[in-house]
Structure 1
């Protein structure tokens, strides 16, 4: 089948997984919410849905606050935080540059082979995300445009995703195991103007030629302007 991955997964094994992975005590202590607090939050969410989410939203920074938490006038097409304006990347990254987290590790990447490992602080990640966002803007991309990300699990993949979100560009992440035909379908569905990819990737000890798949796919992708 053309939609299948290049490498088969043990589907039956995954479907019958019954193991429970419990966090280490030191991880539990540092968690943002304890089991007891989780139960209280769950009860509040069931009792006061709007109040629950309004409290959660107060933990973010907004460029403009909402006029209304929930608009149910066109149910089941609900509108949350009507009139509000924020940026998810600003909250996930930018605001931490002004705090003690600036030089804290923001992302840890473990590659294949296992010897490859890299870390980026919030500030380092912030700079790289801004650089990538600037590249997209230099290509003429604007809010609402689409970008296809066809990459393995790299630091650059996260940077590309954050860079898109920062300027309001919609990104679609396409699994690096998909064939050229499957890639073509998804790029055309999104009408992506740009494809972000790498020359290749490791996969279970083998090398996948991603750029070759992109070159084959874009022959029938009229919306693509840049790779």
Structure 2
């Protein structure tokens, strides 16, 4: 094993637990190691039920799926949420315009030199996406 591989292996074997800072902990999706372990156990005991609940909580569906999971590990091939339809823009962008994040940072880009920083709020990003969607429409781009 090369020195680089040893170093990578060493980094992968980190055993420390890093506690999150107090500030923001109450806004975390998972608030404790116990909560994480409980969710992990649920996901292992009932993967389809666990991920179906998460998909209903976290994703806006245009059409709910017919089947949560289909897999053939001999291939391997795994398919999630078969028959479901969603709009990526709605889930990644639009819903944040009404949930209090409209003027919060959606993308923070930092270039070189480090002082070259651009911040796009959800509203600014939405405006740019709409503008580009109109360009595509004028060029004749359609669904499909």
TM over 0.5: yes
What RMSD in Å do the two structures reach over aligned CA positions? 3.0
Q: Structure 1: 5+ residue runs without aligned partners?
A: 1-10, 145-227
**Corresponding residue number in structure 2 for 1:60:** 59
**Corresponding residue number in structure 2 for 1:101:** 101
Q: State the Cα distance separating 1:69 from its structure 2 match.
A: 1.5
**Corresponding residue number in structure 2 for 1:25:** 22
| CA deviation map 1:164-203 (0-9, x unaligned) | xxxxxxxxxxxxxxxxxxxxxxxxxxxxxxxxxxxxxxxx
- Mapped partners of 1:61, 1:27: distance in 2: 25
* TM-score, scaled relative to structure 2: 0.74
Q: Is the alpha carbon distance of 1:116 and 1:72 closer, same or farther for their aligned partners in structure 2, counting shifts above 3 Å? A: closer
- Mapped partners of 1:135, 1:21: distance in 2: 49
Runs ≥4 residues deviating over 6 A: none
Q: Structure 2: 5+ residue runs without aligned partners?
A: none
Q: Secondary structure at the match of 1:81?
A: strand
**Corresponding residue number in structure 1 for 2:37:** 39
- Following superposition of structure 1 onto structure 2, how do residues 45-194 of structure 1 map, counting pairs within 5 Å? 45-58=43-56, 59-72=58-71, 76-143=76-143
Point out which structure has higher relative CO (alpha carbons under 8 A, 6+ apart). 1
Q: Secondary structure at the match of 1:78?
A: strand
- Mapped partners of 2:92, 2:68: distance in 1: 21
Q: Is the alpha carbon distance of 1:139 and 1:12 closer, same or farther for their aligned partners in structure 2, counting shifts above 3 Å? A: farther
Q: Is the alpha carbon distance of 1:123 and 1:17 closer, same or farther for their aligned partners in structure 2, counting shifts above 3 Å? A: farther
Q: Is the alpha carbon distance of 1:128 and 1:43 closer, same or farther for their aligned partners in structure 2, counting shifts above 3 Å? A: same
| CA deviation map 1:20-43 (0-9, x unaligned) | 794433244432112222111110
Q: Is the alpha carbon distance of 1:143 and 1:16 closer, same or farther for their aligned partners in structure 2, counting shifts above 3 Å? A: farther
* TM-score, scaled relative to structure 1: 0.50
How many residues align? The count is 134
